[in-house]
Amino acid sequence: MKEIEVKAGFVASLICFATLASVSHAETWRVDLQPFLESHCIDCHDGADAEGGLDLSGLGSDLSNAEVIRRWILIHDRVSAGEMPPADEPRPAEAEKAKSLATLSAALTEADAARSDVVLRRLNRNEYENTIRDLFDVYVRVKDILPEDTSSSGFDNVGEGLTVSAEAAGAYLGAADVALDAVFGPPNQPKYIEHTTNLLDQKTHDGKPFLARQFGKMFRKTDKGLVIFQSGYCPTNLVNFGRQRPPAGTYRGAVQSKEPVTLRIYGGDTVVGRGEKHVVGYYDVPPDEWTTIEFVDRLLEHGGTFQPKCYGTRDTRKGADTYPEPGIEIGDITIEGPLEEWPPVRL
């Protein structure tokens, strides 16, 4: 027995050249700020035993360094809020404080502008869908709701191409609603389906055998089921199961098989050209014995179904009863689900 579970998201450098008589801008703002630091900060924030681990004497002035600029931003905000110097220490004059903060603010603003060539971007459609799945452990196809991402140099995750229009913002809000609906679950418990079928039992809408016209041509009829040979075209959708309009969710299935070939199972909207489908898995079937293959898979959309196909075999369009190439004999198929707990429990 084989079981497979398928679960249906700056570095900048600056090189400066200057004469010995010149002073870099980084040194200029630090020089201008130094008197304020020495008068109100250095006594407590100096050396290895500095208060709060903030050693101003050892703190660099290279604002292209992420950790350095983070610390200077913190210093700016604490002084601006009046938290530093502490209330029990001499207070700086308002004019002196305003001038020092203006010096530091200008330096921080310029450093931030120098890094603006790296564009902060939104998530593209695939990243957004994957992030929803990772954050909430829900499987929703929201990328189809969102507009296609603009490609830049062949990539759809480049910041310059990921602009946000009013229409895109509205689409993302709609996608968020769909995601939240999936998180909280449907208002009513989905119907539970326990369905046993056989490829011989598949019926068209008018009740006629779905594959009967291909018996002896593409498929070989046996006492237990049907032998399939097709690795390419193969209309072996489980139409009887799909016709029950199974709700989106996780399903457990089992297929009995025979012959030394590999079985490939698809899930989703398996009608060619109508919707998306995915590979549930590949299953090696040993020769001369009935093997039960079990799988657990998610149908992401309501009304999906499953489709068994051979893998790596040659196809036949006629003479299946005497066709000498390997195939897979498929007997009874049982599908049950959705398996999710209801109402859903979300952490």
Segment 187-198 shows an average pLDDT of 81
End-of-domain residue from the set 92, 114, 136 = 114
pLDDT above 60: residue 70: yes
pTM here? 0.50
CA distance 266 to 244: 18
The whole domain housing 199 covers 193-337
If asked whether residues 91 and 152 sit together in one domain, one would say no
Same domain, 332 and 197: yes
In a domain, 296, yes or no: yes
Both 205 and 158 in one domain: the answer is no
What is the band of 340 on the pLDDT scale with cuts at 50, 70, 90?
A: confident
**pLDDT of res. 24:** 43
Last residue of a domain, one of 95, 114, 133: 114
Same domain? 150 vs 53:
no
Residue 85 lies in a domain: yes
The dihedral sign for the CA sequence 182, 183, 186, 187: negative
Q: Considering the domain boundaries, does residue 13 fall inside one? A: no
pLDDT-derived band at 14 (thresholds 50, 70, 90) equals: very low
Give the Cα-Cα-Cα angle 287, 293, 298 (nearest 5 degrees): 145
* pLDDT score for 102: 92
| CA–CA dist 284, 263 (Å, integer) | 6
Residue that is last in its domain, among 79, 114, 149: 114
**Assigned domain for 14 exists:** no
Stretch 319-345: mean pLDDT, rounded? 81
**Structure confidence at residue 211 (pLDDT):** 73
Same domain, yes or no: 51 and 178: no
Q: Is residue 17 part of a domain?
A: no
**Same domain, residue pair 92 and 226:** no
Q: What is the pLDDT of residues 219-259, one digit of tens each?
A: 888 888 888 877 665 556 676 677 667 766 665 556 566 66
Q: Tell me: do 146 and 54 sit in the same domain.
A: no
Tell me how far apart the alpha carbons of residues 203 and 186 are, in angstroms, rounded to a whole number: 31
Q: Are residues 215 and 281 in the same domain?
A: yes
Confidence band (pLDDT; 50, 70, 90) for 103?
very high
Claim to verify: residue 68 and residue 161 sit in the same structural domain = no
* Helix, strand and coil in the chain, % to nearest 5: 30, 20, 50
Tell me: pLDDT of 110 over 70.
yes
Could you tell me the pLDDT band of residue 99, with boundaries at 50, 70 and 90? very high
- Do both 106 and 142 map to the same domain? no
Q: What spatial distance separates the first Cα and last Cα of the chain, rounded to whole Å?
A: 34
Shared domain for 109 and 215, answered yes or no, is no
User: Domain for residue 4, yes or no?
Assistant: no
The DSSP result for 323-334, as a single string, is --S--EEE--EE
- So what's the pLDDT on residue 17? 27
Average pLDDT of the chain is 77
Tell me the CB-side half-sphere exposure of residue 235, using CA atoms within 13 A: 14
Supply the CATH number for residue 300's domain.
Answer: 2.60.120.260
Note whether 211 and 275 are same-domain residues.
yes
Answer whether residue 327 shows pLDDT above 60.
yes
What pLDDT sits at residue 240? 64
| Secondary structure E strands in 222-274 | 226-228, 249-257, 261-268
Does 173 reside within a domain? yes
Q: What is the pLDDT of residues 22-48, one digit of tens each?
A: 334 455 898 999 899 888 888 888 888
Peptide bond preceding 338 in cis form (omega within 30 of 0):
yes
pLDDT at residue 59 is higher than 70: yes
Is residue 15 domain-resident? Answer: no
Structural domain count, the chain: 3
